[in-house]
Each structure stands twice: as structure tokens, then as C-alpha cells.
Chain A
């Protein structure tokens, strides 16, 4: 069924019934694995919170953006084509069992990549990335994959929680670098800000690190560096965006406010600047709708990020099947 056609309320009125269609990401048609074909973009929700001691609520991100998308379609002009997009619903998760969770996400994403489709996941935390990356590597063992991570943190340093005082935030970038060929040399970390442990800074020396203040002060130079690093380096890239990269006044996703982060306009320019890089899969994490105290503002901002990422995923150069 064409979802957009179903939005014509007249057809409902003819039957004497007035309903509205099921909300999907950006109004994309609802589909399943069998509906995917090469070059299509599958958008999926991840109904899962942070595995660390972070504030719960990221599991509602997908739902809220779907609702927000519907309102946007209904009230405002459509600014993105839904051609080639399919909302495949929420992926199966085991929110209380990290290892099973990673395994099942990996298996599901592998099936999607084997169809030749690209994948955008929304919700959950950064631990989603290695799971999906594993799926991509299983589906395309001959392809080299690099990582572009946009976040205020580097998540590089391996350390156990300190006497139960520090949250058990995962050091996911390190794990990812162990999965891919070339390790940290094929990792670009964008948007770091604030104070970082000296050990983490030392460990990041192999990766390309673009701090938030570089982007704020000179976006053009920063983008040039990123594009140079990604040029002819890997067959495909995995793009991971944590909403905590945004300045606290634009973003309400995290407990600890980021007062030196990017504005929504800067993030938008950054995403525009990534067009042309062969991105195979992406995730948008760290958004907790419960903190959206103004009602819909932050959801709309994250929805806008999702639109930007879809624009990047539409790049035909990504080497899928």
C-alpha cells in the first residue's frame, strides 16, 4: 500500500470513517526484509536504553520521531522524497542482555545488508554501532569499512567502572577499531569537547580527531580534513551520530549538559559536508524524548538529523552488493 496516498483523508471520509495512518519515519512506506532491494534504505528503530548508568529513555526515540514525522508530513510541505526508503519497524532487541542484544542486532543487520540495502537505525546507545558493523562485515567480508563518529566523547579508553562511582559507559570506539581493518587509522572522531582523560587523548593519536571547537571556528577546514581522510581510504563508511554533540540549549538528551557543543545549524552543515562519502550504514543514538521539555522541539531537531543522514545514505557510490 502506498502510505502517502493513504494520507488523503477524503478516501477515509467516503467510507464514513476518519482515521490517520500509522506513523512511520518521514512517512516512508512500511515494509519488511522481503521488500528490500539493492540501493534501498531501511530505517529501523532500536527499542533499547543505554547499557551503562545513563538516564533511561532512549528506547522511545524511534517512536517519538515517527510521531514527529507524521505531524511534519501532515502540517508542512514534504521536504524529502521517500523513494527508496522503507520503515522496517523496530529491530528485535534484548535490552537487559548486552551479549544477546549485540548478537541479534548483528544477525538482523547482516540480513539487511545481504539484500544490498543500506541501514539507518534510530534509538539506543552507541553499543548499537559494533553490532551493526559486525553484521556489515559478515555480509561483505571483502569490503573495507571505516568509521565516522560524531559525538562529544571519544569512547576510546577501556576501563572498568571505578569502585562503582563512574557509570559503566562502554568504550565502544576501541571495540569498533578492533573489528575493522586498519584499526583507529580508519576512524574519524568528530565533535569531541570538554575534559578528556590524558590516557584517552594519547590513545586517540592514531585516529583523526576533529574537536567541536574546530568545527565551530572553521567548519570549511575541518570538513576538508575529514574528506581528505575518507578519500579512497575505505570502500564504505559507517556513520554514527550521538545527539549529545549538540549544545545543551538545542539538545535535551543527556544528563550532563554540553555547553560547548554544536548548534543544530552547524551539525546540519557538517552532515551536508559529508555528502559524497560512501556511507553504507548509520545510526542516530543518544536522544531521550523524555527530556524534550518543550514538547516537540528536540524531536524535530533529531528528525532533521535523520533527514540529513538519509541524504548521505542516498549516495550511490557506496559499494553494496
Chain B
């Protein structure tokens, strides 16, 4: 599980060239990638089922400059930041969950069980979606853990989409009674457009915070960076849930529904770079990536870039100050 052991077989694209592995191989602090290929329910557009595979393929493109360099060292031409691919990367890709395309309650239980298993082994689960509702399984997998965990959600809506036999739910309802802490462990970034009143009230009742896309446009990325930093400081670890519908559809068309006025990929990249809480990341979920809807392939590329950015400390050594 070091860089020399990366799985570089083009035939089976694993995320970032990680080795493919079984559940039994998961060890402490291993970045553990797994796909949840599920569709969104109508009237949302289908396509998310191909998300995990497309993100894996795009991740190879994102990491390409590291693989091309004999010294595995890369310089950002704008910032001058120099990073080297770690020799001791502990990462593995355990493949996709074998569940039906249409998400169901039992599928959510399966996701929650897997996340719990990974977390109990001291590893970091990285979920590649799939519909955004898969986030429910991810968060449930963490809920009963005793560590103080904050949840940062990049999304355009304060709700999660409906699934087979179950309606739309508010994000605040994911925490339920498990939220025993003084401050709500949920920060929502990129909220845009009209929101259901119940979802607003729900988040308000649990003391949740919101950073809207409008405020990022009006006041710059600082309006998101500062709250995220302050939020992350309050917790031992954070879970990042990125619903790619948060991005403006002009930049990332491959999502089940349209977002006009969402944040740009550049804003997202800068926010993640500036906040730099990679050392606190306990889990990542990237959802709502529908490659068939984005002929240009930008959406999955941005998704892969996002995961790599969130795993910076695990993947790279910083060579420049």
C-alpha cells in the first residue's frame, strides 16, 4: 500500500492508482475508497449510477502530473506550492457496493454498516456516489461513534432527495437525537435558491449554520473559509459531504438537477485549499455526479480534484512553506 505498490493497471481503474483490496485488508488510517452506484429518483435526471467509475478514471487524470514526474514532485505554477507524492500512502479501493441501482432503506443500512466497519478499523471512508441520499448512510455510520465529529456539507439544498418508498428529508433530520453537543455539528455551504421552510426551521432548531452561494459571490471565498475553519476547530474530526449540484451547471453539467447561480469549481477549489483541514478529515462523500449528462467530463474531473484536495495530507508531502 505504498506508492511503489500502486495499482496502475489501466484495465481496472482504481481511485488514484490505489491498490484494490478486500474488507479484511482495511487497516488503521487507510484511506478507503468505495463506490455506491445508485440512481436518483424521478423527476431528477438519471446518470449517477456511473459516477463512481467516472470519478475513479478522472482521478488518474488529476494525479497524472505526479505519476509523470520521476521525483513524483509537482509545482503549482500560480502559487509556487511544491508537493511530493508520499512514499508511504496508505490507501485502498475496495470497489463498489453490490446494491440495486434504486436506493432503498436496506441499501442505506448496508452503507451505514460498511462505514461503521471502516471507522471502527480506524480507517477513513471515502464514498463515491451515487445519488445524494447515500450521504444519509454515510452519516449514520458515524453517528454512534464517541468522537466529537462535525459535518461540513457542500450542497445547494437543505434537503436530501427522495428514494424508493421514502420522501425527501431535511439535512437536519440526519442528526436526530444523536446530537448531544452544545453546538450543532453541521455547516452547510453553497446553499442556493428557494428552500423548504421546514428544512430551514429544522436547521435553525438544531443551531446549524449556512453559507450561501450568494454570500460567496458577494463577499468572496473568505465568507466560506472563515466559518469552515472556525467550525473545524470545534471538532476532533470532520466529515465532508460534497453534493456536486452545489456547482453552477454552466461549469458542471453532469448533475441530476440544474443549479443556476451555484458556486464555481474555482471557488470550491480555493475554499478547500484555503481552509486546509485535511488533517481532520474523518470521512468524505462525493455525490450527484452523473457523467452521461456532462459530455465534456468536467463534473467527474472536479469531483476527483475535490477528493484529492481533501486528502492532501494523506497523499502528499508539502515541500514549500
Give the interface of A toward B (CB within 8 A): 55, 157, 159, 162-167, 192-201, 211-213, 248-249, 252, 255-257, 259-260, 290-291, 293
Using Cβ atoms and an 8 Å threshold, which residues of chain A touch B10?
164-165
Since A165-B8, A197-B74 are in contact, a sample of 13 more A-B pairs with Cβ atoms closer than 8 Å, ordered by chain A residue number, is A164-B8, A164-B10, A166-B60, A192-B77, A194-B77, A194-B78, A199-B71, A200-B69, A201-B75, A213-B77, A257-B251, A257-B297, A260-B78
Number of B interface residues in the complex (CB < 8 A): 36
| A198 & B69 in contact (Cβ 8 Å cutoff) | yes
Does B182 touch A at the CB level, under 8 Å? no
Main secondary structure of the interface of A (DSSP, over half): loop
The smallest beta-carbon distance between B161 and chain A, in angstroms, is 24
Query: Within the assembled complex, what's the spacing in Å between the Cα atoms of A211 and B265?
Result: 20
Query: Within the assembled complex, what's the spacing in Å between the Cα atoms of A252 and B250?
Result: 11
| A259 & B265 in contact (Cβ 8 Å cutoff) | yes
Query: Within the assembled complex, what's the spacing in Å between the Cα atoms of A163 and B68?
Result: 10
Could you give, for residues 55-98 of chain B, a 1 whenever the CB lies within 8 Å of some chain A CB and a 0 otherwise?
00010111011111111011111100010000000000000000
Query: Within the assembled complex, what's the spacing in Å between the Cα atoms of A163 and B63?
Result: 14
Does B17 touch A at the CB level, under 8 Å? yes
Among candidates B60, B71, B75, B302, residue contacting A195 with C-beta atoms closer than 8 Å = B75
Using Cβ atoms and an 8 Å threshold, which residues of chain A touch B71?
198-199
Could you give, for residues 201-241 of chain B, a 1 whenever the CB lies within 8 Å of some chain A CB and a 0 otherwise?
00000000000000000000000000000000000000000
Query: Within the assembled complex, what's the spacing in Å between the Cα atoms of A257 and B296?
Result: 8
Could you give, for residues 234-272 of chain B, a 1 whenever the CB lies within 8 Å of some chain A CB and a 0 otherwise?
000000000000000011010000000000111001000
Does B154 touch A at the CB level, under 8 Å? no
Interchain Cβ contacts under 8 Å between A and B, 9 examples: A157-B68, A164-B8, A195-B77, A197-B65, A197-B69, A201-B77, A248-B265, A256-B58, A257-B265
> In chain B, what residue has the closest Cβ to A53?
B10
Using Cβ atoms and an 8 Å threshold, which residues of chain B touch A200?
69
In the complex with contacts A162-B68, A211-B78, A248-B73 CB distance below 8 A: no
| B78 & A199 in contact (Cβ 8 Å cutoff) | no
Using Cβ atoms and an 8 Å threshold, which residues of chain A touch B17?
165
Among candidates B58, B62, B65, residue contacting A196 with C-beta atoms closer than 8 Å = B65
| B265 & A193 in contact (Cβ 8 Å cutoff) | no
The smallest beta-carbon distance between B11 and chain A, in angstroms, is 9
Query: Within the assembled complex, what's the spacing in Å between the Cα atoms of A65 and B65?
Result: 32
The smallest beta-carbon distance between A97 and chain B, in angstroms, is 23
Among candidates A157, A195, A259, residue contacting B264 with C-beta atoms closer than 8 Å = A259
Using Cβ atoms and an 8 Å threshold, which residues of chain B touch A260?
78, 266
Using Cβ atoms and an 8 Å threshold, which residues of chain A touch B250?
249
| A199 & B296 in contact (Cβ 8 Å cutoff) | no
| B75 & A257 in contact (Cβ 8 Å cutoff) | no
Using Cβ atoms and an 8 Å threshold, which residues of chain B touch A248?
251, 265, 296, 298
| A193 & B68 in contact (Cβ 8 Å cutoff) | no
Using Cβ atoms and an 8 Å threshold, which residues of chain B touch A167?
64
> 4 tightest CB-CB pairs across the interface, nearest first?
A197-B69, A257-B298, A198-B73, A163-B8
| B266 & A259 in contact (Cβ 8 Å cutoff) | yes
Using Cβ atoms and an 8 Å threshold, which residues of chain A touch B295?
252, 290-291, 293
